[in-house]
Amino acid sequence: MGGKRILELKNVNKYYGNNHVLKDVNLIVEHGDVWAIIGPSGSGKSTMLYCISFLEPIQSGEIFFQGKKFSEYAKLEIHESIGIIFQNYNLFPHLTVLDNVTLAPYKVKKIPMNQCRKKAVELLEKVGLAHKKDAFPHELSGGQAQRIAIARSLAMEPKIMLYDEVTSALDPELVQDVLEVIKDLAREGITSLIVTHEIPFARECTDYCLFMNNGKLEESGLTKEVLNNPKNVRTKEFLQKVL
Amino acid sequence: MGEAVIELFSGINLKDLVFMLKTGLPITIYLSIIAITIGTLVGFIIGWLRTIANEFFDSIILIFVDIIRSTPLIIQLLIAYHLPAFLGINITTILAGSIVIVLYFAANCSQVVKAGIDSVTFNQWRAAKSLGFSYLQQMRYIILPQAWRAMIPSYTGSALGIIKDTSLISVIGVIELVRSGQIVISRTLNPLPIWFIIGLIYFIVCWPLSKISRHLEKKAQFGKE
Amino acid sequence: MLGFRFQPVIKNMSFILEGVRITFSLSVLGFLIGSFIGIFIAFGRRSHTSLLRNSSSAFIEVVRNTPFLVHVYFFYFALGEIGVNIPSYFALLIALIVMNAGYMSEIIRGGIEVIKTEQVKSAEALGLSPFQIKRYIIIPPALRVMLPPSLNQFAISFLSSSLGVVIGVKELTWRADFLQARNFLSLESYLVVAAFYIIIVKITLSISRFIDKKVFKYKITDI
Cβ <8 Å between B141 and A103 = yes
Q: Which of B58, B42, B41 is nearest to B50 (CA)?
A: B58
Strands in A19-30's sheet, in edge-to-edge order, are A19-30, A5-16, A60-65, A68-69
Chain B contact residues (CB < 8 Å to A) = 123-124, 126-134, 137, 141-142, 145-146, 149, 223-225
What's the pLDDT at C220?
A: 46
Mutation target among A46, A85, A94, A153 for the B interface, most CBs of B within 10 A: A94
- Flag whether A touches B (3+ CB pairs, 8 A cutoff): yes
Q: What is the largest CA-CA distance in chain A?
A: 55
Q: Which of C78, C65, C73 is nearest to C92 (CA)?
A: C73
What's the pLDDT at C8?
A: 77
| Chains contacting A (3+ CB pairs below 8 angstroms) | B
Percent pLDDT > 90 in chain B is 66
- Assess contact for A146 and A86: CB atoms under 8 A: no
Cβ <8 Å between C186 and B203 = no
What's the pLDDT at C86?
A: 75
For residue B222, what pLDDT band results from cuts at 50, 70 and 90? low
What's the pLDDT at C218?
A: 54
Mutation target among B119, B122, B124, B131 for the A interface, most CBs of A within 10 A: B131
Cβ <8 Å between C173 and B75 = yes
Q: What is the pLDDT of residues B129-162, one digit of tens each?
A: 999 899 999 999 999 999 988 899 889 999 999 9
Residue A40 three-state SS = coil
Q: Closest residue of C to B166, CA-based?
A: C67
Sites in chain A below the pLDDT cut of 50 = 1-2
What's the pLDDT at B64?
A: 94
Return the higher-pLDDT residue of C130 and B121: B121
Per DSSP, helices labelled H in chain A are 45-52, 75-81, 97-107, 113-126, 142-154, 172-187, 199-205, 223-228, 233-242
Chain C residues inside the 8 Å CB shell of B83: 187
Percent pLDDT > 70 in chain B is 93
For residue B5, what pLDDT band results from cuts at 50, 70 and 90? low
What's the pLDDT at B225?
A: 40
Q: Closest residue of B to A82, CA-based?
A: B130
Global pTM value = 0.83
Q: Closest residue of C to B191, CA-based?
A: C77
Chain B residues inside the 8 Å CB shell of A94: 145-146, 149, 223-224
The one-digit pLDDT tens for each residue of chain C (223 residues) are: 566 777 777 888 888 899 999 999 999 999 999 999 999 999 898 888 889 999 999 999 999 999 999 999 999 998 888 877 778 999 999 999 999 999 999 999 988 888 777 777 777 777 777 777 777 777 777 888 898 899 999 999 999 999 999 999 999 999 898 988 888 778 888 999 999 999 999 999 999 888 877 766 554 443 3
The phi-psi region of residue C168 (left if phi > 0; otherwise alpha if psi is between -120 and 50; otherwise beta) is left
| Chains contacting C (3+ CB pairs below 8 angstroms) | B
- Flag whether C touches A (3+ CB pairs, 8 A cutoff): no
Cβ <8 Å between A107 and B126 = no
Cβ <8 Å between B210 and C65 = yes
What's the pLDDT at C221?
A: 43
Q: Closest residue of B to A52, CA-based?
A: B130
**Per-residue DSSP letters for A104-159?**
HHHHTS---HHHHHHHHHHHHHHTT-GGGTT--GGGS-HHHHHHHHHHHHHTT--S
What's the pLDDT at B11?
A: 64
Q: Which of C73, C159, C173 sits opposite B195 (nearest CB)?
A: C73
ipTM score assigned to the predicted complex = 0.89
Chain A contact residues (CB < 8 Å to B) = 53, 55, 76, 79-80, 83-84, 86, 88, 90-94, 103-104, 107-109, 136-138, 152-153, 156
